[in-house]
Amino acid sequence: MAVNIEYRLPVFLSAGAKTEREVPRFVQQEMEASLDCSLIERGGLRSRCLH
């Protein structure tokens, strides 16, 4: 089952902001950078495991 982090990340981050357990800024930055690297127009590669 594929998980589209691009669409779920903002929901995840906003849920943390509404509680006392906000996601640390460095974690947010790393997750956003990871999304940026996965974009095909930025040289990202998409693959799927068939096993």
Interval 1-51: pLDDT, tens: 446 777 788 888 888 777 878 889 998 888 888 777 666 666 666 666 676
| pLDDT score at 41 | 67
| pLDDT score at 26 | 93
Report CA-CA distances (Å) from 17 to 21, 29, 36, 51. 7, 15, 22, 37
Joined tokens for residue 35: 């999304």
| pLDDT score at 16 | 76
